[in-house]
Structure 1
Amino acid sequence: MTARAPRALTPCLLIDLMSWPFFSLAKSPRHVPVDFRMGRVSMTVAGRDASPMATIWDADILIWAVSTLIAARRQRQLVSSHVRGSTRDILRFLGRGDSASRYVRLRAALDRLTDTQVTTSLRQTSDGASGFSWLVAWQERRGELDLILPPWLCDAVKGRAILDLDSRYFALTGGFVRWLYLLVRRHAGRQRDGWSFDLKHLHEKSAALSPYPRFVFEIRRLVEAQSLPGYRLWLEIDPNGTPVLHFAPDTAADSYPQPSVDNPVGDV
């Protein structure tokens, strides 16, 4: 059964995609693969045949697809790997408008998602690590977009490992601030005391190509700007002299965050 996007969708995303470095944070093409190891989690992400890997902006399409599946599940419909929707409605959901150039960029993003190969230990089967592309296939016809999602993604939706996102996320223009918002949303939820990570740990977790001093500069800039929807940030120095980023829900925000964390919050 094909999941059809309703007119009103609440943005949703898998918590795994909010916690781990599955996407490039740069607007310029990234050809250097992500080869990540932390504790029991491992992953390799790379473009097929020298293609650039998918970016965090390309992942907006996955947010739309997951949101469509969650809407179907909440209506007690069967969750399918086949998702369909109007290209115009998709662009509007992502806050991108529907100019001709937007359609061209949408198709390029779909190609990158299809050409990005992922191997990860997360939710691996008895046969070992899961290997897949973000899209098995896609087709556009008469203004309608058909996507086929990989089983890894659909199984996670069925397993309810999902969090709602603030729609203002789509207005965040930088890859770094988008990555930080997703991580903060995942780990802080509605916990009054929020959560924290030391910056060295966060730098490793981002798998960003920028050096650590640049990473610290970007974090300090975002703390000063306080631009994450629904959350506030602050920095402290631990006894070892390492900067620690703290984050918690903004009690002055009336509309967000809506639901609590759906799964136990971990320290990874």
Structure 2
Amino acid sequence: MVGENTKESDRSPLLPDRQEQSDFFVCDILDAAPKGDMASMAHPIFSLSTKPDHRIRRYEDGTGRNYLEVKPASDGLATIHDRDVLIYCISQIMGALNRNIKVSKTVRLKAYDLLKATNRPTDGRGYSSLRNALARLQGTQIETNIVTGDVEQLDIFSIIDRARIVRETRDGRMQEIEIQLSDWVFNAIQAHEVLTLHRNYFRLRKPLERRIYEIARKHCGSKKEWKISLSALQEKCGSASTSREFKRLVCNIVEQDEAHNHIPDYAVRLDGDMVLVMNRHLERPPTTIDSSKTIHLSVDVYQEARKVAPGWDVYALEQEWREWMDDGGLDAPANPDKAFLGFCRKIFEKRGKP
């Protein structure tokens, strides 16, 4: 009889593993800090409109050599709120990279976790808006030669290559989703061309507020302040409003920020036709010795900090380090890089992985 010579002891008691485990990354890092890719923060890829936006938009730099063109699908351009999906995926992948976990550009996530992390409703509206967001992200096409991760893309691609609902409840709500990011986005992640966002970013109501925060995070960063003209800001925002209407919208945001200080990390003010962005973390009372303003870290120190404090957001550690020095009235260290790495090492020794 065929198979009689096969010994029972030679056969594994387990069935063969028929599931492919290496072709996707499972999102399960609940404390991952929100992060956005710098390329889409610098360029107006996402629409600010709450209605379907079917404009084809093309942007060029001053040399005329670099360009970016955004083309909508039948559902319109991906919106600034659709970007939440991208931020969540980037945050999860960066969190995994900081933990030395293998990643891929295909991610599997729980819809509920994404909705909670991005401050979206978890009722039927939330799942419906998420489904629409996935469609717009896949449908919006980009043509560009802007470099991400030392790779020059000269083709047309979607923001995400595809999205697939893996499981769905009986009432039609999504449970698990697989999203395949574009090479353009994934190259930026692998090159660490991302910036940490404040969690209150997801609480900003107005699309223009979110876009202004992104621009401030990208261009002001850890500097004391940064200025931009209203006309240049409108172009960076991708706003379709008239210049007069755009100024009115910015004025409203400035007035609300003056009253409530609600824009995360940065204060936004208006001086004639110039918009002034001020770093809130560098705003100190006159009696405070703010020695950290004169401290400059090298570019390479952040990579070293990731090694001595694995799992930590090194930019958040830098902010904590500077505040610690200011609160103690400490003088600027002779070797800022060495002092910062020592601080990161002590944080990791005391607190372990976050």
Same fold (TM over 0.5): yes
**Cα 1:202–1:146 shift into 2, 3 Å:** same
Partner residue, 2:253 = 222
> What does 1:251-266 align with in structure 2 at a 5 Å threshold?
251=281, 258=316
Over aligned residues, Cα RMSD in angstroms? Answer: 2.2
AA matched with 2:256? A
Aligned residue for 1:129, secondary structure, equals coil
Alignment CA distance shift 1:51-1:244 (3 Å): same
* Residue of structure 2 in register with 1:248 after alignment: 278
Once the two structures are TM-superposed, the CA of residue 93 in structure 1 deviates from its matched residue by 0.7
Which one-letter code corresponds to 1:170 in the other structure? F
- Residues 36, 85 of structure 1: alpha-carbon distance in 2 compared, 3 angstrom cutoff: same
1:133 equivalent to 2:158? Answer: yes
CA contact (8 A) 1:138 1:146 kept: yes
Using the TM superposition, give the Cα deviation of residue 144 of structure 1 relative to its aligned residue in structure 2, in angstroms.
1.0
Which deviates further from its counterpart, 141-150 or 21-30? Answer: 141-150
Alpha-carbon spacing, 1:165–1:259, altered in 2? closer, same or farther (3 Å): farther
Normalised by the length of structure 1, the TM-score is 0.87
Please give the per-residue CA displacement for 1:16-75, whole angstroms capped at 9, x wherever unaligned: 111111010011110111122232541111123x33110000010000011111011101
CA separation in 1, counterparts of 2:226 and 2:282?
Answer: 18
Give yes or no for the alignment of 1:106 onto 2:135: no
Q: Structure 1: which amino acid aligns with 2:82?
A: D
Moved more, 20-29 or 70-79: 70-79
Structure 2 SS opposite 1:76 = coil
Gap change, CA 1:149 and 1:127, over 3 Å in 2: closer
Q: Does 1:16 align with 2:16?
A: no
The Cα of 1:128 is off from its aligned counterpart by 6.0
Aligned: 1:194 with 2:225: yes
Listed as ranges, the gaps of 5+ residues in structure 1 are 238-242, 262-268
The answer on 1:28 being equivalent to 2:51 is yes
Higher fraction of helix:
2
Q: Residue in 2 aligned with 1:264?
A: none
Q: Is the Cα contact below 8 Å between 1:3 and 1:68 reproduced in 2?
A: no
- Whether the 8 Å contact between 1:84 and 1:144 is mirrored in structure 2 is yes
- What is the deviation of 1:188? 1.3
* Higher-RCO chain (CA-CA 8 Å, sequence separation at least 6): 1
User: Normalized against structure 2, the TM-score is what?
Assistant: 0.67
Secondary structure of residue in 1 paired with 2:55: coil
- Aligned residues of 2:147 and 2:153 also touching (Cα < 8 A): no
The residue correspondences of 1:4-153 to structure 2 (distance < 5 A) are 4-5=26-27, 6-39=29-62, 40-48=65-73, 50-123=74-147, 129-142=154-167, 143-153=175-185
Rounded to whole Å, the distance in 1 between the matches of 2:37 and 2:66 is 16
User: What CA distance in whole angstroms lies between the structure 1 residues aligned with 2:102 and 2:70?
Assistant: 30
**Structure 2, unpaired ranges of 5+:** 1-21, 168-174, 285-314, 320-354
Number of residues of Structure 1 aligned to a counterpart in Structure 2: 252
- Counting aligned pairs with the same residue, the percent is 26
Between Structure 1 and Structure 2, the one with more strand by share is 1
What is the identity, as a one-letter code, of the residue corresponding to 1:212? S
